[in-house]
């Protein structure tokens, strides 16, 4: 995956442009290429990661994800899980021994 910044994105038009890290070239970004639940949009200046695809109109971004969303998913997945047991007599949660 390539990282970059959203140069601008128009909700009204449904597209915008992304600038990959270390490059001056702009990549076309259509709302259908945004990988998220709900309303698919990007915010000007936000960090994203994406794949680059060549189309008949030039290079464009696909599978676009907000970088903070991608990092949050990794963090949640990697976080250790702790088991708690409910003590029904006192209604308190305790770590098992």
Half-sphere exposure of 35 (CA within 13 A, CB side): 14
> What's the distance, Cα to Cα, between the start and end of the chain in Å?
43
Q: What is the residue extent of each domain of the chain?
A: 2-94
The rounded average pLDDT for each run of 10 residues, N- to C-terminus, in the chain (97 residues) is: 95 95 93 89 95 92 84 44 57 56
Nearest to 33 by CA among 73, 56, 22, 59: 59
Would the pTM count as exceeding 0.85?
Answer: no
Q: Give every CB contact of residue 44 below 8 A, 6+ residues apart in sequence.
A: 6, 7, 8, 9, 16
Q: Are 29 and 42 in contact (CB under 8 A)?
A: yes
Check residue 37 and give its pLDDT: 82
Contacting residues for 68 by C-beta, under 8 A, at least 6 apart: 46, 47
- Which of 14, 93, 16, 76 lies closest to 48, judged by CA? 16
Q: Does domain 2-94 have CATH number 2.40.50.140?
A: yes
Burial pattern 67-78, b for ≥16 Cβ within 10 A else e, equals: beebeeeeeeee
């Amino acid at each position: 995956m390539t990282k970059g910044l959203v140069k601008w994105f128009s909700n009204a038009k449904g597209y915008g442009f992304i600038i990959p890290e270390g490059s001056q070239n702009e990549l076309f970004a259509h709302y259908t290429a945004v990988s998220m639940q709900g309303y698919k949009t990007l915010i000007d200046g936000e960090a994203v990661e994406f794949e680059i695809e060549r189309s008949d109109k030039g290079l464009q971004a696909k599978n676009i994800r907000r970088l903070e969303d991608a990092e949050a998913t990794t963090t949640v997945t990697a976080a250790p899980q702790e088991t708690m047991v409910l003590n029904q007599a006192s209604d308190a949660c305790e770590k098992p021994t």
